């Protein structure tokens, strides 16, 4: 039986996202790209065979109509932080699983009571269902696992088997922290072409260029095809 995962996607306030793309893009353009990254990440997760449910934690105000059916959207707790959003998402995944278990006719013996939990960052515009499935397949062989980002210092995915204590350490130097916490590094267990897509988060213009070379999801491709304004353009408009 294939192990399925409930996937938590934390979403930063879009208006404040991707500041490292400045000055190449103004605030509105950065928010549009951040939204596109999230939607492409969600689409890949929904299409992955290993994913049972997608739970988005954070700000999708103004974009709820773009969120695909079947996605659970929960508000980000206050005060806002990545770690708080992740904890809230994990708790929500477990709450939903427990409710399903209690209401099930088999007393919780079904496969859904043995699902793992994954935290997937929402800035993976080159992610495909195949890349996520390969990563979750590898993760299913370990109680705790993670995928480092392309630079090798951050993390794009962290997973825990069912009934396993799960306290991922996303943030600065998270790859090192996850190794220290006993998370298994998946980077050498996934075929390179798929791992590259799984690891390619986007915070900088160089990273965006690398994602373009890998191939983008439909939302990000459309956002990049639209006219883009730089911060210089915005300054000129304000001074006119």
Q: Tell me the per-residue pLDDT of 101-116, one tens digit each, with 9 for 90 and over.
A: 777 665 545 555 579 9
| Spatial separation of the C-alpha atoms in residues 175 and 156, rounded to whole Å | 9
Q: Is the pLDDT of residue 143 over 90?
A: yes
| Spatial separation of the C-alpha atoms in residues 9 and 12, rounded to whole Å | 10
The average pLDDT across 11-39 equals 82
Q: Is the pLDDT of residue 141 over 80?
A: yes
Residue 17 has a pLDDT of: 67
Helix, strand or coil, per DSSP, at residue 65:
helix
Cβ-in-10-Å burial (0-12, 13-18, 19+) of 172 comes to exposed
Residue 139 has a pLDDT of: 98
Residue 239 has a pLDDT of: 38
Residue 229 has a pLDDT of: 52
**Which residue reads 């800035």 in tokens?**
123
Residue 89 has a pLDDT of: 97
Q: How would residue 237 be classed by pLDDT, with cut points 50, 70 and 90?
A: very low
Residue 93 has a pLDDT of: 96
Quick one: 5-239 is in which CATH superfamily?
Spore Coat Polysaccharide Biosynthesis Protein SpsA; Chain A (3.90.550.10)
**Percent share of the chain, pLDDT over 70:** 85
Q: Is the peptide bond before 79 cis (omega within 30 degrees of 0)?
A: yes
Q: Is the pLDDT of residue 198 over 90?
A: yes
Q: Is the peptide bond before 23 cis (omega within 30 degrees of 0)?
A: yes
The average pLDDT across 116-125 equals 98
Q: Is the pLDDT of residue 11 over 50?
A: yes
| Spatial separation of the C-alpha atoms in residues 72 and 54, rounded to whole Å | 6
Q: Tell me the per-residue pLDDT of 43-85, one tens digit each, with 9 for 90 and over.
A: 999 999 999 999 999 876 555 567 778 899 998 888 889 999 9
Specify the higher pLDDT residue, 207 or 12: 207
Specify the higher pLDDT residue, 156 or 13: 156
> What mean pLDDT, rounded, does the chain reach?
88
């Amino acid at each position: 039986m294939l192990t399925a995962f409930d996937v938590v996607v934390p979403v930063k306030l879009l208006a404040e996202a991707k500041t490292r793309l400045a000055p190449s893009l103004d605030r509105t353009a950065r928010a549009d790209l951040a939204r596109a990254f999230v939607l492409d990440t969600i689409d890949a997760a929904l299409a992955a065979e290993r994913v049972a449910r997608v739970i988005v934690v954070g700000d999708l105000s103004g974009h709820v109509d773009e969120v695909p059916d079947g996605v659970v959207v929960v508000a980000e707790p206050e005060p806002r932080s990545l770690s708080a959003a992740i904890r809230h998402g994990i708790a929500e995944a477990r709450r939903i699983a427990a409710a399903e278990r209690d209401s099930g006719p088999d007393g919780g013996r079904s496969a859904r009571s043995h699902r793992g939990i994954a935290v997937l960052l929402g800035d993976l515009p080159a992610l495909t269902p195949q890349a996520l499935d390969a990563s979750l397949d590898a993760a299913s062989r370990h109680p705790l696992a993670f995928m480092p980002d392309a630079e090798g210092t951050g993390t794009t995915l962290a997973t825990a088997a069912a009934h396993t204590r799960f306290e991922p350490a996303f943030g600065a130097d998270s790859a090192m922290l996850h190794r220290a916490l006993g998370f298994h590094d998946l980077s050498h267990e996934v075929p390179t072409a798929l791992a590259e897509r799984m690891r390619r988060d986007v915070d900088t213009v160089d990273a965006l260029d690398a994602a373009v070379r890998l191939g983008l999801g439909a939302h990000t491709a459309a956002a990049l095809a639209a006219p883009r304004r730089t911060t210089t353009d915005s300054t000129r408009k304000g001074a006119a």
